[in-house]
A and B are shown apart, each in its own frame.
Chain A
Amino acid sequence: MSKISVSNLNFFYGKAQALHDISIDILEHEIIAFIGPSGCGKSTFIRTLNRMNDTIPIARVEGKVTIDGKNIYEPNTDVVSLRRKVGMVFQKSNPFPKSIFENVAYGIRINGIHKNKADLNERVEKALNDAALLGEVKDRMNTSAFGLSGGQQQRLCIARALAVQPEVILMDEPASALDPIATQKIEELVVELKKQYTIVIVTHNMQQAARVSDRTAFFMLGKLVEVNRTQKMFTNPDEKLTEDYITGRFG
């Protein structure tokens, strides 16, 4: 069944239209990858799914995005609880200037998820474990998050997002600033997380999309060109434009 359903979404930065009439269904427990050339609107689109674009004063949205049957652009939407349900991992790792423990504990604390101190500890450990980071940090939980390597910081940010128990995780080029080994770890992690979460991942890297995703969506100039099963997309796409992009004829 579809977890997120987007219909006829248009997005504007002031007068400039960044997204044109996007309609797509995202299924529960799938990994869907968004690919496309720079500036094609894939990052803008992923940020409409948790209303992150609200922070941009001149941004304007038309159309509908329903998550679990509820339109998140209804005026009475509780954006805070929406974002708790739809977590996000960003392109550049952005840990808080706090200890490793406190970074992961942050979301648990502000949302009041934990029952007591022991429960908090347990949840932090579980999130770090799910993000495949616990083994590397369990001896230095109270040291600064800035002491971690880039790849570790990014997995910390994933752990931080997991800790609030979201249902959907949006990942905006989560591995683009990492080296191949760290990237591989993130990719393995993403596949592992699929069991529990619905994952939307934006990526520049077509091999990455091919490796991790169940379905792939190709964006171009603010339009959604094609959505298909990843295997089909990369072997026999329906659209000529998709084929041209994937075979590297432009982009």
Chain B
Amino acid sequence: MSAVIENHHDDHHHGPAKGITRWLYTTNHKDIGTLYLWFSFAMFLIGGAMAMIIRAELFQPGMQIVEPEFYNQMITLHGLIMIFGGVMPAFVGLANWLVPMQIGAPDMALPRMNNLSFWILPFAFFILLSSLFMEGGAPNFGWTFYAPLSTTYAPPSVTFFIFSVHIMGASSIMGSINVVVTIMNMRAPGVTLMKMPLFVWSWLITAYLLIAVMPVLAGAVTMMLMDIHFGTSFFNAAGGGDPVLFQHIFWFFGHPEVYIMILPAFGIVSHIIETFSRKQLFGYSSMVWAMLSIAILSFVVWAHHMFTVGLPLAAEIFFMWATMLIAVPTGVKVFNWVATMFRGSITFETPMLFAISFVVLFTIGGLSGLMLAIVPADFQYHDTYFVVAHFHYVLVPGAIFSIMAAVYYWIPKWTGNMYDERLGKLHFWLSFIGVNVAFFPQHFIGLAGMPRRYPDYALQFADWNMVSSVGAFLFGFSQLLFLFIVLKTVMGGKKATAQVWEGAKGLEWSVESPAPYHTFTTPPELDWTPSKAD
């Protein structure tokens, strides 16, 4: 196998094909990584535009801009697009670019499947978005699509939604199989499991989570399909079914899913903090074990999303304790990052700024998560803006900041050009201020008693909603600056060295910038180990 690859690709002048077919037919991990990243950015802007509509409507009490039906479509699509179109494909894109380079492999193990897993995604989102123009409108039952609102009471477009979710699931499963096979089989000699860079580790664990839970999601939507079109009653109480069963199935997928959206971030942030602290990562093996524990625990905490459905006391207590337990490995990770910075030699380039604010703001989101685990208190928090604030803190300055940090960190390697540091910092500060002004007041709104998914609200919530909207607009429009910075870097800029960052360690920094179309066609000689070298 490797001999065949060498025969074909040893020639370094062999570059990409020209024109559109390069992107349609490509099996190159770097091209596919680029496709994923651009796709997720496009989805990020579309999902973001929907968030702008939501925040504009909530700017003041009363219905001003949209009708409640359309508002519900916006919150549903915003959630689905950001999760399945924004965050997940971005991480898959980063995995495509980085995993082979970080383990010294020539490409992903299953390159044709890699192409397929990307190219079905645009169809999935085309179907989902087209439902906006269908009679009865787009899905309007929230991204959690609880039955029977999403079955008996759903608009006809729900069938298209189900098909679209099936395609997204197939894409994710293929993508994760590819990651697992690549990591398990294609590491360069000497890259043992416990010497793998943490981003690779985080993706290995994420991929297993995806393979475990995406079929569960597929099962849930298939049961919905049967209920809607084939007369079954899985979730229909009138037919002897159980609406709570839907929630159990959904959250058995949904909870690991939220870790799918944060584990790769842990990997990214570990690399960046290590690089800009110019100091070896503190507690590498405890980082790995912490991620493994978080992943395993994620399968036994799902019902903490359902504390108010009327679970028996024993179940409430079990899920409360199990959920709180997750704080231990998560804490270990945060302490390790801080200990890495401690007595380091720190500089504050844009990736580091994003990474540091990731640690701070993700910790805030984690602590509010701990509060939500306390069942009696959750009776007051559940389904209020406190929850909205919590998960936006872990997803926006959590997952999304890590993706932005990763883009700034590795874009010199991808394009061969340095980004504009001044603009990068401006983008960081605008995003940082915007995100906090948008989401911090939502804690107050929630505690004061405003439920989530409300298109209109009582007057006592007006002030902080207005503040939150202003922050959201600032954050939203700042992302156009990000687009500009990325485009500017792709077009040109100061040339990057192979090393790029003074403190950077790892195989991807041993190849020139931009990384050649084919890297490591012969396995690299390791005179140091990627994560443990001094």
**Chains A and B are bound partners:** no
